[in-house]
Structure 1
Amino acid sequence: MRSKVFLLLCALAYLWISGAAAQDAALVQAARKEGSMVWYTSVALPTATAIAHAFKQKYSGIEVEVHRTGSERVLQRFMQEAGAGIKNADIIDTSDAGHFELLKGKGMLLKFTPQGTAGFPDGFKDKAGFYYGMRSTLSVIAYNPKILPEKDAPKTWKDLLNSKWSGKMVTAHPGYSGIIVTHILALVNLYGWDYFRDLAKNRLHIVQSALDPAGVVASGERPVGVNGAEYFYYRTQKRGNPIKIIYPKEGVPLIVSPVAIAKDAPHANAARLFTEFIFAKDSQQLLADREGLYTGHPDVTYPADKPKLKDLKLLPPDAAELEKRNAEIKKRFVEYFGA
């Protein structure tokens, strides 16, 4: 009896695998017929280029057109094009999870669940199946150790309020960066808006992208970064630049960056195939190994010199709250920081 059950299970498994393989082959064929796809993304351009190159090597005959800018501008462009009846983007990827709640609510996303997301934790997937977190990073404090000895460097978010840092710090802007929108909301929930009112008194240098503070800190132009993408600080550090990263014990904002397919994607099959590709284990491992990013894939491993997420106190985002408070965050930032 047991042997019959075993044989039946094997037969069912074979049929399922054969069916899945045929389905995958049909998707590849349909994607090659379309020949290209367009990816609107906020990830660092070298990262996007590496992913696109790996995809094209695996699936010859399908071009990936990368359009990279800050999260808020990705959304702005997509919405403006949609309003004008222009259907250009196939895939949208930003670091502001609230964008995807907005787009989902407006019926602008295609429901699609890539196979690789089966084991992803809840914070990396939309329960309704419209978007999934391709990558994640942290927003951290960083400083230049050539200018500041470790004993004098800020260790907590509230250390940054000390007037001794006046004119010595850099911040990125929520009007450009989804990472910074998420960072601000996390600290507002922790300390209230008074924190940013007091921080602004220290005359911060303001840049656009959450990637920009790394260069400013490494150059010594401003020795302290009050926020910024941890993965880009990490990459800058690994290239031999003078940067030390601080993960405040009171909590570190976790930024999950979703990916979704546009409902009116001109190359929907190529977009589906690309989405399957970026959520496969090999692609997720590439993000960790090459770029220092975190992912939701349970089988991905990380460099030994990066902290494990489970060892940090994380301040995770709520996508619905990010969408609801987006305008408030940008307005308050301009009110306090004057830019």
Structure 2
Amino acid sequence: MNRLSRSSQPNRVRRWSTLAVASVAVFGMAATLSACSSDSGTKAPVNKIEQGTWPSYYPSDYGKIVDAAKKEGGELTIYSNTDQENWAPIFRDFKKKYPFVTKISANNLDSDEVFQKQLSEMSTGNAPADILVTNAVQAWAKYASEPDRVLDYTSPEMAKLPDYAQLLPGVAAMSMDPVGLAYNASLLGSDPTSIADLAKLVQADPAKFKNKITTRDVSGSFGFTVSKGFVDGNPDAWASLEKILPSARPETSSGTQIDKITSGEYLAGFFISSAVAFPQEEKASGIFKFVYPKDGTVVLGRGIGIAPKAPHANTAKLFLDFVLSEEGQNAVAEGGLTAYRDSVKQVEGRHTYQEIVDKAGEKAIIRVPYEITSDADVKAFTDKWNGLLGK
């Protein structure tokens, strides 16, 4: 480890069968930050942050980035679609590592709004964002398709991460977050483990499920991406969806879906973000259940990139490197997102990519590349999907 001196401190979906590879009430942070026991009694490890150090595989002149960051005022501005409870452990530990960083501002925008806001401010020559973070695949791909929209920076952590960590030039995966199937366990009367299981339940009792299932609105970037991802990654998808969608109603956010499933307005829902489902499952123990569909669990990389004219560019580099590091990935998992670095321990209360492999099966994982889908393909898919929805 090198220590600081006193004076410095691609839209086609592929099934990656061989790889071990977005409103709910704000919960008390104690539940999120406490260490939990797993079934085997293993405790979630307390994050140990080494202040002012970096791995030996970092560039020999990495200290220059740290020195430059210290001169930027200790601030960082992030535009993202990520909840504050997800960010809390990450910000806490980043400030521990670099205590000269004292102020981090992160808003919680809609997935596409991140880029709308950034582009609008860039056009005026006054863009305060340092970092952009969202799992809106289509929006990221379109935004980054134009030059000078993302800083050309490759983290030294990339050499220690799987190849899928690089989503686009200058854009890395902060987490690899699955979307899944959720249901009200006290009302459903069954424990489905796949979309096909849900289809069989609907087919057996159509009256029970009429307007009692929720799916994501495919007119939004997130809803389109995860829905098309499932269809493209599962050759039998439409056979199940044609049974379910006539009983389903679309919602525009996972938070709304989760609230309505918990209250009983819906019996079940699918393509729900794990980032908000995991905390609800813990809070509503025994009522709200979340599972990885064994016939296709869509996984989205949560893209993180540095703005091309970031006011605090060096601090942004430190932050990006941190979230990809082992220390950062442990904080990512503690905040409720899904870490994918192999060295992050799989314990209860923290979620890893390996957990998806273990529970759904490696062959069930569907990763969505950061590629643009043509307008014609978007229209064809959304027309077919919406045509099946119940009226």
TM over 0.5: yes
| Higher deviation after alignment, 54-63 or 313-322 | 54-63
1:239-258 alignment to 2 at 5 Å?
239-241=283-285, 242-258=287-303
Counterpart in the other structure of 1:278: 323
Deviations along 1:305-338, one digit per CA (max 9) or x if unpaired, are 8672333211111211458789548954667659
Deviation at 1:66, TM superposition (A): 0.5
More helix by share: 1
1:115-154 alignment to 2 at 5 Å?
115-126=156-167, 129-150=169-190, 153=192
Structure 2 residue matching 1:297: 3-state secondary structure: coil
Instruction: Tell me if structure 2 keeps the 8 A contact 1:73–1:176.
Output: no
Structure 1 residue matching 2:112: 3-state secondary structure: helix
Instruction: Tell me if structure 2 keeps the 8 A contact 1:182–1:322.
Output: no
The 2-side partners of 1:19 and 1:308 are apart by 29
Q: What is the aligned-residue RMSD (CA, Å)?
A: 3.2
Equivalent pairs counted in the alignment come to: 318
Alignment partner of 1:185 is 2:232: no
% identical equivalent positions? 20
* The one of 69, 94, 97 aligned to 2:134: 94
Instruction: Tell me if structure 1 keeps the 8 A contact 2:141–2:372.
Output: no
Deviation at 1:142, TM superposition (A): 0.9
Deviations along 1:278-319, one digit per CA (max 9) or x if unpaired, are 11111101222341x322312112225867233321111121
Alignment partner of 1:85 is 2:125: yes
Instruction: Tell me if structure 1 keeps the 8 A contact 2:118–2:129.
Output: yes
Change (3 A) 1:262 1:290: closer
Instruction: Tell me if structure 2 keeps the 8 A contact 1:101–1:323.
Output: no
Instruction: Tell me if structure 1 keeps the 8 A contact 2:176–2:302.
Output: yes
Structure 1 residue matching 2:99: 3-state secondary structure: coil
1:1-339 alignment to 2 at 5 Å?
17=56, 20=59, 23-35=61-73, 36-62=75-101, 63-107=103-147, 108-126=149-167, 129-150=169-190, 153=192, 155-157=194-196, 159-160=198-199, 162=203, 163=206, 164-175=208-219, 178=222, 180-189=223-232, 190=234, 199-204=244-249, 206-241=250-285, 242-291=287-336, 293-304=337-348, 308-311=355-358, 312=361, 313-322=364-373, 328=379, 332=383
Instruction: Tell me if structure 1 keeps the 8 A contact 2:131–2:316.
Output: yes
* Structure 1 unaligned spans of 5+: 1-15
| TM-score, structure 2 normalization | 0.71
One-letter amino acid of the counterpart of residue 357, structure 2: K
* Structure 2 unaligned spans of 5+: 1-54
Change (3 A) 1:249 1:192: closer
| Higher deviation after alignment, 113-122 or 153-162 | 153-162
Structure 2 residue matching 1:266: 3-state secondary structure: coil
| TM-score, structure 1 normalization | 0.81
The 2-side partners of 1:81 and 1:106 are apart by 16
